Structure 1
Amino acid sequence: MSAGPDRVMLARARRIMALQTAAAITVSLLVLGALVLIVVTYSQNAAARTLLRETAASADDVKDPAPGVWIFVQDAAGTVEATEDAPRGLPDRDALDRVRAGGAAETVRIGGREGGYLALTRRRGARVVQVVMSRHEQHDERERLLGALAVGELIGLLVALLSAALLARRATAPLAEALARQRHFVADASHELRTPLTQLHTRAQLLQMDLRAGAGLADVTTDVDHLVTGTRHLGEVVEDLLLSSQLGRRDDVRVPVDLATVAAEVLAEQTDRAGAQRVELTLLAGAADTFVVLGHRAALRRVLTALLDNALSHTPSGGHVSVELGTAGAAVAVVVRDDGTGFDPADTERLFARFARGGHGDHRRFGLGLALAKEVITGHGGTIDAWGRPGQGAAFTIHLPSANRDEQ
């Protein structure tokens, strides 16, 4: 199954997350900008009314008002004295006449384009005073503020989109990794289980046919032996697959592992198989040396099992397989060596690929074992190398950091 649908789904999820996050940030900026504009407008209006009241209360004549302010005084006879250079259309004579006739003081807006004017008309003794203030400067200030807010909103939108895209990618990275691991595991399982299951089914059919045909005990025993061997191989494949699915998410604390003990256990498990194949097994480990590393015992045990299984699978009757442990500076070295069929040096790197097969006429199949061995060793901060020659055997060398390296 192609990984295309996963990529499409993740891309769609990232776009949705990015757009939603960017929209939330943009709306927040809009609300903030609106609040700033409201506060500024309110402050301007309050300042304008305060200036008009103070000027109207303290002005003795129409000369020298504040910039942008004009004063108009109407006496009892109705004559109006005005500040020089007053804008055309001022004063508001209707307001002057209403207050002069006994009306209450009033504040009115005059004009609407580009801010207009704000006028306060009130009585002072026998006279009526009208103070008019231009709102043009305040209007221009609001225009500049709106422009700045618009530019800030645009920049904020771009930053929000970029930040949201980055956050969405980071947020979906674990999901992408999980999907990739799941798809990888399914592909591995499908590939690895197909052959052993087919073999088991075939051998079960043969056993069924023999039993129905009244076959002798020897024939049935052979079929049962084949079934047992097949189930063992199937169990090893399942163990490899489970280990493969866990490698990417091992976060448990590592513990000291004695590789000499693990190697001895693995060799003990393979003794019967080696005896049946007439292959000699040897464990070489210096008694005075320490072969303790920090790691996951089950994973390291599986590595040694895979290497020993590989060696026994390609060592003919009368051959020899050894596991040699030693130290190299601050590292523990483990060498699994056999004098079997070996392999072409050109295939060295390919041996650790999943489902690798030998080349140049070598039909051996390495499956997941060696690939997982490299993943485990690399995950433990070590290295694994292979050496081989056709007909001269093979050797796999592991170097892992010693648990006692700080003391060396």
Structure 2
Amino acid sequence: MSTRRRSSEETELRRASLRLAAQFTALIVVLLGLAGVLVYGLVSAQTRDAAEQTLVSAVEFNSPREAPLDVFVAVYDDGRLAVSRNMPSGLPDEEALADVANTGESRRDTVTDGDRSYEVLTTRRGRDVVQAAVDTHEADEQLRRLSLALVVSVLAAGVVAGALSAWAARAAMRPMAEALALQRRFVADASHELRTPLTLLSMRAQMLRRRLAAETDARIDVHTDAETGAEIDAATAREEAVQAADEVVDDTKVLTGILEDLLMSADPRRSGPLEEVDLVSLARAAVRSLQPEATRRGLTLELDAPDPEVTVRGGQFALQRVFTALGANALDYARSQVRFSVLKSGRDAVIRVSDDGPGFPPGFSRQAFERFASARDRAESKPRDDGAGAAPRHYGLGLALVAEIAARYGGSVSALPAVNGTGGVLEVRLPATRKHSGSKGREV
């Protein structure tokens, strides 16, 4: 691994660890903050209850001299006012005394004098009007000190939690980062090794095509085809060979594009360019490429395209893989027919591939798109082989790749209920780029 690649992976690991640590720290701070608010609320409520109890007890004293030192009492009796010693300025509250004397209803007030505040309770006891006041300065100071202590504790706990979570997150994520790096290297190495023979294959196919197309021998050589028994001439055979060479060249281009797309999908740090892709053209290409296999299996391929163009933004080769995977899955289970449909539905471009096979079992639509899942009972479908007498091996990756590609471009994939109770229907929805209109048409 190069120094630059190693440095990039270390930077990515550090950033991921810091993001995880920040999220954990934020959670810890929020939880501790809520606990601190709860504690502050409980202490504040207890303080208010204690002051209330002190006031209620103080108004029961018959004489101001009997009141505790931290409680100030005033008694108003027939124009005479008796107050506690060291009564602070601002007390007693004569307005409250006069009001209670006239109305007989108790009053609760707060009197402020400079930096001091007092809770005052004025009530009538028989013919007397009694007023009790409690200094809340010390209680307020205690609440302020408590709030400061809670804030400092939460911040300190946040710093400690951040440091510990950053260390733990880095230690926990390192094995995953190394596994991801190993996966990226494997995909890059495999793609590099496969790209070279594909390039050579493409070059040789192009050279073969030029050579076949350049032949100008006018002699007609008639011979019998070994498989069909039909008589064909050399010109026809040469034309078919040129067409086959063109198809090989096109297939190598598709395979090269798939390799590039695999490299993009294997490395989340890289994103391929998005372009407008016509799904109808991709569907036609998929039908053409799958037609020989469908003919060999005795199946009919249909393309239903109500609109001449249905475009989305994405990667051409990735979306081509969607059609290929859906078509290959349908061919494996179809009894006689596979149908591709490409249409517009509201703001979505819709791809549907249906077959007349056994269909999906109930409740299996989610599992169908998991890796290595077998969505349908292959024993109920028409038996297939690869031409050598052995059934092809399936790994359950095609539909999982379809789901990943659809999610990459903001879409979704689902298994729909079969029409008339039989067959399987797979639907991919992708955001369409613009509206299209056209006459309905079908290709077979």
TM-score by length of 1: 0.45
TM-score by length of 2: 0.41
Larger radius of gyration: 1
